[in-house]
């Protein structure tokens, strides 16, 4: 079984993916970690040194590489992964278990305010600009996220509850 988690940054893809992988006893892969390992550099530094276009090209290559592996896994994608280079189409072609972890703008603002320094896209934004930035981004990306086979509403739920909800949808 191969499961792909998509959603905006801060939606809990990595956290939930790890819990789900442990419960289902299959491997967990974080696409951003995979890219950092392959390029021997952090996502933040890749953006800074080579730019977003370079990153998105590499992200597409590594996504296809991971999806072409025949083993079972849960893959957590980057927030922008489904929105570039036909990636969502590629993901949907390779697995029927694609979950959109949907969090409200308010929920994302609350989560992301705490981890801005690790997020290249919002690192330099004042906190008061986050709701508008996230809202605009979600509007632009919703077309891609909503193509997932399942949408899981995550507001007000623990990662464990979300993981359990996903497991029930797999049956």
Looking at CATH, the fold of the domain delimited by 2-166 is given as: Rossmann fold (3.40.50)
**64 is an annotated ligand-binding site residue:** no
Q: What separation in angstroms does the CA of 92 have from each of 9, 60, 75? A: 20, 14, 13
pTM for the whole thing? 0.94
The verdict on whether residue 12 carries a ligand-binding annotation is yes
Domain ranges of the chain: 2-166
N- to C-terminal Cα separation, the chain:
12
pLDDT tens per residue across all 171 residues of the chain: 999 999 999 999 999 999 999 999 999 999 999 999 999 999 888 988 998 899 999 999 999 999 998 789 999 999 999 999 999 999 999 999 999 999 999 999 999 988 888 787 888 899 899 999 999 999 999 999 999 999 999 999 999 999 999 999 997
Annotated ligand binding at 119? The verdict is yes
- Is residue 56 part of an annotated ligand binding site? yes
Q: Retrieve residue 100's tokens.
A: 């959109």
């Amino acid at each position: 079984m191969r499961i792909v988690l998509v959603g905006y940054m801060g939606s809990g893809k990595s956290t939930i993916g790890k819990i789900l992988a442990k419960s289902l006893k299959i491997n967990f892969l974080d696409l951003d970690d995979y890219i950092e390992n392959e390029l021997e550099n952090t996502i933040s530094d890749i953006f800074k040194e080579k730019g977003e276009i370079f990153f998105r090209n590499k992200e597409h290559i590594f996504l296809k590489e991971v999806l072409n592996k025949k083993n079972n896994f849960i893959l957590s994608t980057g927030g922008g992964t489904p929105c570039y280079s036909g990636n969502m189409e590629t993901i949907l072609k390779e697995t029927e278990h694609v979950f959109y972890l949907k969090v409200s703008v308010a929920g994302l603002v609350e989560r992301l305010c705490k981890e801005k320094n690790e997020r290249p896209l919002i690192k330099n934004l004042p906190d008061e600009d986050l709701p508008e930035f996230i809202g605009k981004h979600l509007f632009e990306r919703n077309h891609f996220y909503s193509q997932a086979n399942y949408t899981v509403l995550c507001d007000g739920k623990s990662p464990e509850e979300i993981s359990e909800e996903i497991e029930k949808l797999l049956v």
